[in-house]
Amino acid sequence: MRRKLIAGNWKMNGLSRDGLALAEALAGMLEEAGVAGRPPSCDLLICPPFVLLPLLRATVSGAGIALGGQDCHPAESGAHTGDTSAAMLADTGCTFVTVGHSERRQDHGESSELVAAKAAAALSARLTPIVCVGETREERDAGRALEIIATQVRESLPAAAGTSELVLAYEPVWAIGTGLTATSADVAEVHEAIRKVLEDLRGQAAAQATRILYGGSVKPANAAELLGTADVDGALVGGASLKAEDFWAIATACP
Ligand code: PGA
């Protein structure tokens, strides 16, 4: 049984005061639930902007919330102005990093090959990469969603990943930040297809152990349905992760 993972992708939001208040509120909710004997049945992760990581480290690690980066560079170090290495993230207390988010693919022209190199760098630094894939509206309307996603998964996973822990995130581009969500039937179909590709690439045991998250306008109102969908092992939450109550409501909607 795969334990669900609820990951908050804060994107480029929050100054120190807001970030700390949000992390403290979540830590407080987790602690209260623990004291009441009702801890959520999922793992919690937040991925704040890089500059907030050192500030939030003590608060979240004390509470048992994992910390993740939103991106990393494929190289270990060097002349890459403005970039952050996976080792730097690990050194700041991160255990996860998202790679290949559609906003990176779109805004920075990131290819799946680059995403695979980033995921490999994450694994070398002992981080768990959360590899994001997803089709555009045009691709879905043209009936090409499954084919596009399968290709993205094949090209975005590092060849030498062995059986190391990886997380996949299916995020239809048209559902991100739009209030639109895929139907649970579509999500189940895509997640099943992703798991088949994983079986092909990594063998059955690793594929069965891999968590596949859904992302794209996950909110308290639709969390229970999405998280109860076959093959959905958690959620990657953008907008709703910026409000402690909403993020908590999503976490506690895990079956
Ligand atoms: P959203 O973002 O929840 O605001 O749609 C999800 C994501 O981009 O990870």
pLDDT average, residue stretch 135-148: 96
Find how far residue 159's CA is from the centre of its chain.
20
Backbone φ, ψ for residue 224 (5° rounding):
-60, -40
Q: Would you give the distance in Å from CA 190 to the centre of its chain? A: 16
- 0.75 exceeded by the pTM? yes
pLDDT beyond 70 at 138: yes
How far is 242 from 246, CA to CA, in rounded Å? 8
Q: Compute the distance from residue 214 Cα to the ligand 1 centre, in Å.
A: 10
Asked if residue 135 has its Cβ within 6 Å of ligand 1, the reply is no
Q: What integer pLDDT is reported at residue 159 of this predicted model?
A: 83
Ligand 1: does its nearest atom lie under 6 Å from the Cβ of 177?
Answer: yes
163-172, 213-222, 227-236, range with the lowest pLDDT = 163-172
Q: Which residues of 8-45 are buried (b: 16+ CB within 10 A; e: fewer)?
A: bbbbebbeeeebbebbebbbebbeeeeeeeeebebbbb
Largest CA distance in the chain: 51
pLDDT for the residue 161: 64
Residue 171 a catalytic site member: yes
Q: What is the dihedral of CA 137, 135, 49, 8, to 10 degrees?
A: 90
pLDDT digits (tens, 9 = 90+) for 27-80: 999 999 999 999 999 999 999 999 999 999 999 998 999 999 999 999 999 999
Which of 174, 217, 241 maximizes ligand 1 atoms within 8 Å of its Cβ, making it the mutation to test the pocket?
Answer: 217
Lowest mean pLDDT among 158-167, 181-190, 216-225, 244-253: 158-167
Q: Which contiguous run of DSSP H or E holds residue 66?
A: strand 66-69
pLDDT more than 90, % of the chain: 95
